[in-house]
């Protein structure tokens, strides 16, 4: 039997974001481990390549000049400057994979996600939330990498970022990594069944044989 419904999906971009410290990286890693069919979006950067990093795998490495030209040509879904280095999400990599029917995952902060939404509102936006703010603070404190002032700044930013939850399609509470991953997994499965992502459903059921 021809399984047209498995072949004709357009694929989509799933943007996963949330406040700093909520555990985006850990959840994203566990998700990619669970679902081998997902494609992780690769960022572009102007920073120097570190030992062991591979161009086109860890990052796409660009010169300031090339990066600037790409910004001008609108070749990024979003871009930002962090500590004097530029980072961005190349549109082509995402779009090529989406067209091939792949589900592309982009892990990014709220500001970046809102830029992506302007460029590509067909993406699926998922905000990862902490169960509550005390828990978020605990998690940041437990990393033991930030000063008290840094922690306070992160908490202040988290408060602002929460305002954007209404711009997202879904929210997932990261109480445990396993549950968060299985919630996102269900969202991906459901989105694969969206009528709006398919063309010619009727024609496929008819199979050209019954009209």
> What residue ranges bind its own copies (CB under 8 A)?
1-5, 126-127, 129-135, 159, 162-163, 165-166, 168-173, 175, 183, 185-187, 189-191, 193-195, 198, 201-202, 205-207, 209-210
CB of 110 to its own copies, least distance (A): 12
CB of 141 to its own copies, least distance (A): 15
CB of 92 to its own copies, least distance (A): 29
- What is the bridge-based pairing of β-strands 60-61 and 103-107? unpaired
How would you class 111 by CB atoms within 10 Å of its CB: exposed for 0-12, middle for 13-18, buried for 19 or more?
A: middle
The torsion region of residue 101 among left (phi > 0), alpha (psi -120 to 50) and beta comes to: left
CB of 103 to its own copies, least distance (A): 13
* Comparison of 71 and 205: residue with beta carbon closer to its own copies: 205
Both tokens of residue 111? 């500001």
3-state secondary structure of 59: strand
* Comparison of 42 and 129: residue with beta carbon closer to its own copies: 129
Nearest to 66 by CA among 79, 83, 52: 79
């Amino acid at each position: 039997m021809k399984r047209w419904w498995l072949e004709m999906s357009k694929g989509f971009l799933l943007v996963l974001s949330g406040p700093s410290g909520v555990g985006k990286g850990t959840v994203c890693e566990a998700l990619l481990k669970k679902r081998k069919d997902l494609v992780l979006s690769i960022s572009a950067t102007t920073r120097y390549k570190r030992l062991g990093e591979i161009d086109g795998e860890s990052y796409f490495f660009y010169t300031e000049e090339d990066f600037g030209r790409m910004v001008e040509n609108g070749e990024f879904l979003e871009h930002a400057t962090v500590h004097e280095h530029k980072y961005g999400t190349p549109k082509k990599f995402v779009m090529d994979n989406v067209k091939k029917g792949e589900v592309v995952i982009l892990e990014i902060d709220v500001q970046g996600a809102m830029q992506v939404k302007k460029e590509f509102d067909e993406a699926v936006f998922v905000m990862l939330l902490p169960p509550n703010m005390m828990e978020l603070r605990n998690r940041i404190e437990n990393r033991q990498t930030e000063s008290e002032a840094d922690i306070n700044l992160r908490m202040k930013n988290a408060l602002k970022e929460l305002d954007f939850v209404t711009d997202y399609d879904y929210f997932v509470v990261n109480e445990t990594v396993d549950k968060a991953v299985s919630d996102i997994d269900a969202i991906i499965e459901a989105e694969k069944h969206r009528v709006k992502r398919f063309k010619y459903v009727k024609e496929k059921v008819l199979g050209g044989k019954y009209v």
